Amino acid sequence: MPDEHTDPRCLAPGEAGVLLAGAGWRRAVVLGDSVADSAGMAVVPGYARTAWSDRVAGALREGDAGAACLQLRARRELSLSEVRSCQLADALGFGADLALLACGGPESRARSFEPDALELELSRILAALRGAGCRTVVVITPFDLTRSARVPAQRHAVLRARRRLLAERVEAVTLRHGCVQVDLAAYADAYARTYPDASGTDPWSAHPWRLNSRGHALTAAAVVRTLGGSPGS
């Protein structure tokens, strides 16, 4: 069975330092819904119980030992409107040059999905961060929710349709504001085509909509690899 040191979807030892060396980000902020939090994280053997936000903070310090990171972790589900009202002021006050925004999960799972409202709220947040001088903003959207054993089969078609629409809307907004998108579902799918996943382990914990330790490791790798190739690095 793979572990995070042999899983090609995860960062290899020393990879983060190489990717982020000289990137120049000095102050990073993590905000968004509860997927960034380690509460309720199930441990997959071979994958450390470390939140993706802590992994990314460590990766940034590999590239620059003086990098500071503020983590505005949500202990509950936050929609984008709640992120804007509860977290954005603190994020702006920190004066970050790199922002990592995890979003889209609560909206995708809601009784009704309102992509226009999501696009508006996301645009407001990105405009505020960029307007405050944040050089690089990364928007992170979730893994395929239908990979979770908690999701009944009869909801798969609806959730997959929502995921596609979410990815399209987020891509449009991020491009409009000069930001970067990390689509975790697309990241997992891309690696699956080259490296069939023999582990049989989905990224979700049994705790409602929280990532397991492998999911956190994959998220960190997707973010760091994207940062390593972003124009801001």
**Positive or negative torsion for Cα 33, 38, 39, 43:** positive
Task: With a cut of 90, say whether residue 139 has pLDDT above it.
Answer: yes
Mean pLDDT in residue range 18-23? 90
Identify which has the larger pLDDT, 129 or 146: 129
Contacts of 160 (CB under 8 A, 6+ apart): 144, 146
CA–chain centroid gap for 116, Å, is 21
List, for residues 160-202, the tens digit of each pLDDT value.
899 999 999 999 999 999 999 999 999 988 877 666 665 556 8
Supply the pLDDT for residue 232: 44
Average model confidence (pLDDT) for the chain? 89
Closest CA to 80 of 124, 36, 35: 124
Supply the pLDDT for residue 200: 55
What domains appear along the chain, each with residue ranges and CATH number? 15-229 (3.40.50.1110)
Task: With a cut of 50, say whether residue 216 has pLDDT above it.
Answer: yes
Closest CA to 183 of 170, 200, 202, 198: 170
Contact 177, 127 (CB under 8 A): yes
Task: With a cut of 80, say whether residue 150 has pLDDT above it.
Answer: no
Predicted confidence band of residue 233 (pLDDT cuts 50, 70, 90): very low
Supply the pLDDT for residue 73: 77
Task: With a cut of 90, say whether residue 36 has pLDDT above it.
Answer: no
CA distance 76 to 98: 23
Secondary-structure breakdown of the chain: helix, strand, coil percentages, each rounded to the nearest 5? 50, 10, 40
Mean pLDDT in residue range 89-113? 93
CA distance 2 to 26: 34
CA–chain centroid gap for 142, Å, is 7
